[in-house]
Amino acid sequence: MVLVFLHVAPPNAVSKRYGPQVNAWVYPLFEQNWRLFAPEPDSVNRHILARTARTAPDGSAQVSSWVDLTAVDNSAVKHNVFPSHTTQNLLRRAWTSYVDTHGADDRADSDRAVMMQKYLRNIAEDRVAAHDHGGTFGFIQLRVLTLPVAAQGAAAGKRPPTPVEERLLPWWKVTPRGN
């Protein structure tokens, strides 16, 4: 509560001195934006997929198949009468924040960008580990497919839309407990 108060309070000596530390705790969990009052609905659907790699005992690399993290989230929401905000938005907001801080080149140019990269990596790592029943891996890679939103009343029998954009992120080293 103290950290949130320092974050939203008018500038003062304490918030000025400890601003970076306060922001490191407040973001990304309590990111403030005004979309509640002026919502801007997504005009695309994003599917975030992850795969892992590990080194086999013989030294060869073993790469897993892609796991659709967005589909896992969607299935958790579909039959839940009261889905949590976290279930609905954690992965999507992490991706949006990553894009906002990295741009198209996937280079972290600020402490916030590094933090958002770790945040997205940790979410993906936790979800893949749960899907893989705690399997170990040393690297993780994300792939994001951006698909257009289907037109209202579009025929259900038509083939799925082709991706507008496909973005393949670099492999990220995974350390125990996401550190």
Burial category of 92 from C-beta neighbours within 10 Å (exposed 0-12, middle 13-18, buried 19 and up): middle
pLDDT of residue 38: 54
Per-residue confidence (pLDDT) for residue 178, from 0 to 100: 45
Reduced to 3 states, what is the DSSP secondary structure of residue 123?
Answer: helix
Per-residue confidence (pLDDT) for residue 48, from 0 to 100: 95
CA angle 134, 63, 122 (to 5 degrees): 45
Q: pTM for this structure?
A: 0.71
Q: Which long-range contacts (CB under 8 A, 24 or more apart) does 121-128 make?
A: 121/172, 121/174, 121/178, 122/178, 123/90, 123/91, 123/94, 124/48, 124/50, 124/69, 125/174, 125/178, 126/178, 127/50, 127/67, 127/69, 127/72, 127/91, 128/50, 128/52, 128/67, 128/69
pLDDT at 176: 66
pLDDT of residue 80: 81
Residue 179 is predicted with a pLDDT of: 44
The DSSP output letter for 108 is -
Mean pLDDT, 10 residues at a time, over the chain (179 residues)? 83 86 76 57 84 90 92 84 78 90 86 92 90 81 88 61 83 73
